[in-house]
Structures are given as structure tokens and as C-alpha cells.
Chains A and B, each alone.
Chain A
């Protein structure tokens, strides 16, 4: 069994300036309780990597409302006006990436690759400052790998070993982020005895901690 972690122990892992990947798509599959604990911890200057900026009071959005973020790397911030305002005021840096490129950059980070070559973003502002490489007569953008100090994983059905599968569409970025981060903390949405090995999406050696709420 993977180490269970209490709220207090989880908060002890947090510190200022961490780079944290947070799973979820418009909060679907985001571990809300873990995000709440990050809010309670009051750590600041975080670099957050997430598909989007969540909503003002949900998902990673809560971290912006609480002024804990220095930089966001995401594909979309349109659902959270706080992120847009902080960006316009110069309070935070936002790096916007095409969603498929964001996913592949995280995979590259987790898979030991030096980056990926994609045609997405060519001839747009996304290519600014990036290398263009020609392969078999076609142009591609080099998108470099992304890694993080910690991944917060949600949507998971967890078994007694710490294997994960994911509920419906909560899978999204969660399995990729579990591969690309030093410490992987899971908030179980459901627990079971054992997941059929054919159905395991994230094998337990990738998981460091399973959050357990105190009764």
C-alpha cells in the first residue's frame, strides 16, 4: 500500500515557489480537497501547470483568488476572469499553449524525451522564441519538456496498492501529470480493493501518496 497522507502531512510537503501540476479539465478531475489544502497552507509564488485557470471559486482558480501563483502554464483561461485580470495587471505571468502541445510537453517531461515536434502553432504567436525543425520535408515546432515538483491527481479510483483508474472524463491530464512530477499525491474519489490489471491506467509505482481525510 502506498503511504497515506493526512492534511497536515500534505501541507508539510508544500513550500513557496514549488512547480505543481494539477489534473483536471475545467475542474472535472481536479482534486478540490488538495487544492483547498494548498490554499490553507498559504504557500506563495507557485508555478501552476493545469489545462485551464478553473473558475473563480473552483479548481486551481482558488489559488489565484488567494494570490498564491507566480506563473500559470495552461491552454485556456477564459472561464476565470481573476486570471485574466491578474495577467493584465502584471501580477502573474501566463504562458498559453495549445492544449495538445501542453499534453505532449508534459508527456515528454515524464517520458524522458527532449521535447516533441508538432505542426500546431506554426505561423502563430505560439512559435515565438521556439525552434522550427524540418523533418521529412515538413516544418515542426520544437516544444520542450515540462516537469514539476509535485502533481495533484484527482478523479481517481484507488486500490489497496495505490493503482489508479479514473472516473469517466476525469482522466484528462491526470495520468500524464503523474508521470512528469517528482511527488505524486492522489485524492481518491473512490476506493476499491483491487483494480483489474487490464484496467489500471496509472500503475502504483508512480504514486507517492494517497490523501486520507481525517474523520
Chain B
């Protein structure tokens, strides 16, 4: 498994049967590939579908939030942007999984702009991070060797103090009021490896081997 597959597989284990889940683009989109048999997750896409199914090549007016042709599962619904974001902002989404440029010890996330370089816009990310009951960040631990998990984000924020869990190819880290707790480490790495690749201070108490690896 490559980095992205490790992250997606570990996050799939966090989703509970019956959860309503919104996945961001990139690594989060790989999560459904790793769901345990029999676990029923309902995926919502912010462009207006509840019960999103796999991608398709067939002619359709149904797209996912990346604009790719997709399918809807039995029991699904098409909704407008207002209801879609009412679900998101109103706390009806159990879990959202999103990528990050930076995430910090206070649970703040930066994911939508690199000033002067890249300005894609926030899309639905700010509402998702603010409104979902649980926010999981799916990210590589570093970007070309540079830590992405910082004591404080340097880029403009997507939202402050909203992240609950950070999953990387190296570790699983939870965000608590007293800081970042290192929960699990991938068998290919040591606790020191993770600490050294993390700019933020990690609270290391009871560390387990990363589940599912």
C-alpha cells in the first residue's frame, strides 16, 4: 500500500455503520474502497446528493462534488444547495474527511489558499469543517519533508478549532483541549520518527500500532 492507501484504509475504520459522511477531494475519495463488508455508510456530496454511489462512464446528469459522473444508491435523494448545506452546517453530517495544507495543535485547518500562488477557493470546506460532527483530516505527514502538522497554521484558515482527528501514513493523532495526542503509529515507523516529522508538540502516552496495518 502507498501512503494514500494507508491513510484511506485507516480512516475507513473510523466510519460507523449508518453514518452520514461527506468526503473531500483527493485522499478522502479513496476511503470507500476500504470499507468493511456489511458496513453501511451513506455518502453525501455537497453539490446535492444523499446516497452517492460509485463513479460511472454512462451518460448522466449526476455528478459528485468533483464534477465527475457518478451514481446514486437505492434510497438516495437529490437536493438543492440550500438543503445540502443545511445538512452540513446543521450538524446532520456525522463525519467529514478532508485534506489539508496545514493542520495545527489547536485543531485549526488551512486547506484553501496559498496566497500569491494558488487561490482555488474554499468551496464547501469551510461549512463542512464548521458543521460536521466529526472532522477527520486525511493528509500525508509531511510535504516534501516539510511538516504539515504545526503548532500554529501559517496559511489562511479554513476554520479554527474544529479538527478532531488527523490520520497520516505515519500516525493517528487526536486533537484534545490540551493538545495533540499520538494514538497510533504505523509499523514502518517509530514514535521518534513521528515526533521528528511533526512540528507541533505531540503528547505521547499510550501509543498503539496503527489499526488494520
* Residues of A bordering B, CB below 8 Å: 25-29, 51-52, 74-79, 84, 87, 96-101, 103-104, 107, 118-126, 155, 166-176, 189, 201
In whole angstroms, what is the CA distance A155 to B78 when docked?
13
| B60 at the binding interface (Cβ < 8 Å) | yes
Cβ contact of B89, chosen from A75, A120, A201, cutoff 8 A: A120
In whole angstroms, what is the CA distance A85 to B80 when docked?
31
CB within 8 Å of A: which of B115-138?
A: 118-127, 130-131
Q: Given contacts A99-B81, A168-B72, A169-B47, list 16 more A-B pairs with CB under 8 A.
A: A28-B67, A51-B81, A76-B123, A78-B121, A78-B123, A87-B119, A99-B122, A99-B124, A100-B126, A100-B127, A101-B126, A103-B81, A124-B126, A125-B156, A169-B48, A169-B63
- Smallest CB–CB gap between A99 and chain B, Å? 4
Contact: B88 with A100, CB < 8 Å?
yes
Of chain A, the residue at the smallest CB distance from B81 is A103
Contact: A77 with B122, CB < 8 Å?
no
Tell me which residues across on chain A come within 8 A of B49, comparing CB atoms: 168-169
| B157 at the binding interface (Cβ < 8 Å) | yes
What 7 A-B pairs are tightest by C-beta distance, nearest first? A78-B120, A100-B85, A26-B67, A100-B127, A98-B126, A76-B121, A168-B61
In whole angstroms, what is the CA distance A32 to B88 when docked?
29
Contact: A25 with B89, CB < 8 Å?
no
CB within 8 Å of A: which of B47-93?
A: 47-49, 60-63, 65-67, 72, 78-82, 84-85, 88-89
Most B Cβ at <10 Å: residue of A84, A171, A175, A189: A171
Tell me which residues across on chain A come within 8 A of B45, comparing CB atoms: 169
Tell me which residues across on chain B come within 8 A of A173, comparing CB atoms: 80-81
Tell me which residues across on chain A come within 8 A of B123, comparing CB atoms: 52, 75-76, 78, 99
Tell me which residues across on chain A come within 8 A of B158, comparing CB atoms: 124
| B169 at the binding interface (Cβ < 8 Å) | no
Contact: A28 with B159, CB < 8 Å?
no
Tell me which residues across on chain B come within 8 A of A119, comparing CB atoms: 89, 130-131
In whole angstroms, what is the CA distance A77 to B119 when docked?
8
